[in-house]
Amino acid sequence: MKKRIAILQSNYIPWRGYFDIIGSVDEFLIYDSAQYTKNDWRNRNRIKTANGPTWLTIPVATAGQFYQPIADARCTNHTWAAKHWRSLSQAYARAPYFPVYRDLLAEAYEACAGQTLLSDINRHLLNTVVSALGLTTRIADAPELPSENDPTKQLIEICRAVGATTYLSGPSAKNYMDISVFTAAGITVEFIDYSGYQPYPQLHGEFNPAVSILDLLFSVGPQARSYLSAPAPVSIPAEAAELMDACA
């Protein structure tokens, strides 16, 4: 039986491309045994405000913990949740569908305020948004396997462990993935294309695509899923994989 999966680290209220990937696979695996990276999307994201794009950042302890996995990253205080929800409420109070999702998100942020692990916070908010979007993809933690120095081999081992026949990836992975190894393992690789997303009605001036999914949800509500679809993922056949490797 064919099975398409994606494997990504958890992000904080990520942009719509992240949810496009979720909606395009049979199973979405959260890979939080990967190393935590500072100044990344793991603990922060942007929203639109009347004063321009603004970062919402969850404070995470990093001193002396450079090599910690995302799963071990801890918040340094519990006041961030109330501050973030206040910022969201102020920025989107006039958004057409903010009243529809206000209670759902307020409860989610209240629940996250009591969480210490960043991974748990991201997972809770991810599940909340997935539910609001009506996505039915199975979401699970990536299986714990012996660590591989080669990221391509690590991904292949995860694919094998869950019985995947197709691996869907973001486009940036082309820079480090050895596709021919996937082909040799009998796993098809597909890369999603983010370039075809359509703009949607937004508050606060000129359209900005690089913001949290919450902007889309508050702006268009039940129509949000129709703005998630990018062009169809591109499969990489064995012949092309060999050519790409030869030209690398």
> Element (H or E) spanning 168, and its range?
strand 166-169
Gap between the Cα atoms of 7 and 200, Å rounded:
28
Residue 176 confidence (pLDDT)? 78
Gap between the Cα atoms of 226 and 150, Å rounded:
37
Residue 72 confidence (pLDDT)? 97
Q: Where are the domains of the chain?
A: 4-142+194-229
pTM: predicted TM-score of the whole model, two decimal places:
0.90
Structure-token pair, residue 197: 């997303």
Residue 241 confidence (pLDDT)? 40
Which strand ranges, in their side-by-side order, compose the sheet holding 234-236?
138-141, 27-30, 4-8, 166-169, 188-191, 234-236
Name residue 153's amino acid: K
Structure confidence by residue, pLDDT tens digits, 55-75: 999 999 998 887 899 999 999
Residue 137 confidence (pLDDT)? 97
Residue 1 confidence (pLDDT)? 86
Residue 54 confidence (pLDDT)? 97
Q: What are the 10-residue block averages of pLDDT along the chain, 248 residues in total?
A: 95 97 97 93 97 97 89 95 98 98 98 97 98 97 81 91 95 84 94 91 95 98 90 52 36
Gap between the Cα atoms of 124 and 126, Å rounded:
5
